[in-house]
Amino acid sequence: MADETELTMRSAVNLALAEALAADDAVILLGEDVADPAGGIVGATRGLSTRFGADRVRDTPISETAIAGAAIGAALGGLRPVAEIMIMDFIGICLDQIANHAAKLRYMSGGRTPVPITIRTAVFAGTGGGATHSQSLEAWLTHVPGLKVVVPSTPRDAKGLLTSCIFDDDPCVFVESVRLFGAKGPVPADAFSIPIGSAEVKRPGSDVTVVAHGPAVPDALAAAEQLAGEGVSAEVVDLRSLVPLDLETVLASAARTRRMVIAHAATTFAGPGAELAATVSHELFGQLAAPVERVGAPFVPIPASPALERSVLPGPGEIVAAVRRVTGW
Amino acid sequence: MPDDAVSGQPRELLVALLTTMTRIMVADQRIRDGIARGELLASYWPCAGQEAVAAGVGAALAPTDWMVTTYRGLHDQLAKGVPLEPILAEMAGRATGCCGGKGGTMHVTDPEHGLMLSTGIVGAGIPVAVGLALAARTRGEDRVVTVSFGDGAVNTGAFHEGVNLAAVWELPVVLVCQNNGYGEMTPIEHVQRVTRVSDRVAGYGIPGVTVDGNDPLAVHAAAAEAVARARAGGGPTLVECVTYRLWGHYFGDPMAYIPPEQLEAARANHPVTSFRARLVAAGVLDEAAADAVDAEAAAEVEGAWRGAMEAAAASPGSALTDVYAGA
Ligand SMILES: Cc1ncc(C[n+]2csc(CCOP(=O)(O)OP(=O)(O)O)c2C)c(N)n1
């Protein structure tokens, strides 16, 4: 395409934030170390406080509850705050603010106090951080009515979805994966957004549907490439958001291929794929040629040793194996 | 003996304080009676005994200022200017409730009158108030934000994180600790080492004062000073108002943990009746005028009660709306 640039997801997130700050005075950023020269521990906010000032890009104390709570209050007061919770494992510290306040203040007030906040948080799985710095906790958030949960897998999606989150009138949790932060991909040069709740077929196929989100998407694409060599045509559907969930796209694909594998980095047990597996099994009962398979992490904390971590985090190999199980039927 | 505190005040303020306190007292009593008689099916956390705190703080605020309070919030809400009938309707689950019946007693919101949040989570309102103050300042609006909480809330992480953030960002927040001596069933001396809650904010580099929370003039003076400081850009203040909870934690609480003589003494020294007597003694009001304040409050509360109870229940279909924007 003509007007595209190659960006990393880090730069795409940075660009979305910069454009939002430039477009609307109501947008502010707050979080630990987000201001320059640090620019965020993952570098996503680099340069923004220099450009927009320390009032709009605010360093906070190490106070996750206060960060989330202040974002909520600022939203009640008419701003569109984007709060950074440095690492997703810390979300438990402010889960009260997110689940009891951000998610419910619109509802409890009968629609009188919406909370248009975005919480950006990063999953560090794959970096050897160990059990308290590697969790993929998106299922915690999808269980709370009132939140939107968005998980991009490409720089383009990160840019387009984050822009939508910031200007959405509901609280959105935007889950970034550090594993995906450095890889480059095409991003349209002009301002654009992607509607929240729209899954995308990242690779068409006819024999099996692989549904994934976040870092499992490139794994699924790698698996599909390998399977193509074996004569199996896998369709890869990227959910892009868990709430709202684009069931229409998933069901249409699975109804065509009659086989489905769900892949994610989170724990399989009670993980984000459980809801989808149940729904697809119910909706397509009798049409599926095989039971829905799930690929995720085993029910253990994430170990620190690189060798151990590799052994629990699923990759293309696990997805290929699951596809073989459903196509063997 | 002349009452210098009273004689130094404008008559208008004195009457306004008494009127607000009386309305709160009568409304609180009506709700407790209504529950006891089975007219109202609701949980309720009485504010009886804490009328002076709310009235004193409320009188220091402008209508455009914002307030955050808790489940024990009726007094604060009335003092902020939220009309009583929609509050009662909200408690009763009526469609005309200020939140359409989705909030209940614990979660009353009325942004039109500056009531931005009443939270059921102890301590949680403090960081939200900080954010409201940030928004006001960022948007260049002249608003002060008050946040009320109990003595128990001072031991939550949210309190400490919120106060520190308000302090370092020098935000226009007034922290109103309504120290009623108990956190649910636990007396304050079991859960904190210092005698005064206000001593605890010295560690955040902001002023903290302790006042007699049963004296509306003392509360008003401290609140007015804190509000003025906040408005002038001087940052947050903690105002600890020492008061007493006259009906236990929730209405129906058997209060087995409260020494009877302590309760008796507190009830004998009711902040509303004693302020009324003070104003009469000082000649601000004669008995007839004071009776008129009572009568007006009674009529207002009874009218609001009838209006709320006669309103239609919230329709079940509305339970599924307002989860997300446009739905
Ligand atoms: C975080 C949290 N923990 C526990 C509770 C249960 N609870 C409700 S009220 C209360 C006591 C609060 O005491 P205090 O802050 O002094 O306020 P008061 O009720 O005296 O106004 C407790 C423990 C709660 N609502 N929230």
Task: Determine, for residues A101 and B121 on separate chains, whether the beta-carbon distance falls below 8 Å.
Answer: yes
Residue B167 near residue B205 (C-beta atoms within 8 A): yes
Strands B173-179 and B66-70: unpaired
Least confident interval from A175-179, A181-185, B4-8, B258-262: B4-8
pLDDT at A1: 52
User: From the CA of A9, how many Å to the nearest CA of chain B?
Assistant: 28
CA distance B61 to B223: 9
- Among B68, B126, B184, B190, name the best residue to mutate to test ligand 1's pocket (greatest count of ligand atoms within 8 A of Cβ): B184
| Ligand 1 centroid – CA B82 distance (Å) | 23
Angle among Cα B3, B6, B12 to the nearest 5 degrees reads 155
Output the average pLDDT for chain B: 97
Taking CB atoms and an 8 Å cutoff, what residues of chain B touch A79? 134-135, 138-139
User: From the CA of A165, how many Å to the nearest CA of chain B?
Assistant: 13
Residue A215 near residue A179 (C-beta atoms within 8 A): yes
> What is the full per-residue pLDDT of chain B (327 aa) written as tens digits?
788 899 989 999 999 999 999 999 999 999 999 999 999 999 999 999 999 999 999 999 999 999 999 999 999 999 999 999 999 999 999 999 999 999 999 999 999 999 999 999 999 999 999 999 999 999 999 999 999 999 999 999 999 999 999 999 999 999 999 999 999 999 999 999 999 999 999 999 999 999 999 999 999 999 999 999 999 999 999 999 999 999 999 999 999 999 999 999 999 999 999 999 999 999 999 999 999 999 999 999 999 999 999 999 999 999 999 999 987
- Among B51, B53, B119, B122, name the best residue to mutate to test ligand 1's pocket (greatest count of ligand atoms within 8 A of Cβ): B122
Please name the helix (run of DSSP H) or strand (run of DSSP E) that holds residue B239, with its range, or none: strand B237-242
B72 CB within 6 A, ligand 1:
yes
pLDDT at B275: 98
Q: How many CB pairs under 8 A join A and B?
A: 159
User: From the CA of B11, how many Å to the nearest CA of chain A?
Assistant: 35
pLDDT at B1: 72
ipTM, interface predicted TM-score of the complex: 0.93
Residues shown for chain A: 329
* Residue located nearest, by CA, to atom 25 of ligand 1: B121
Per-residue pLDDT tens over the stretch A87-121: 999 999 999 999 999 999 999 999 999 999 999 99
CA torsion angle for A55, A59, A65, A68 (degrees, to 10)? 50
B183 CB within 6 A, ligand 1:
yes
pLDDT at A2: 59
**What number of other Cβ atoms are within 10 A of residue B4's Cβ?**
9
| SS3 state at A243 | strand
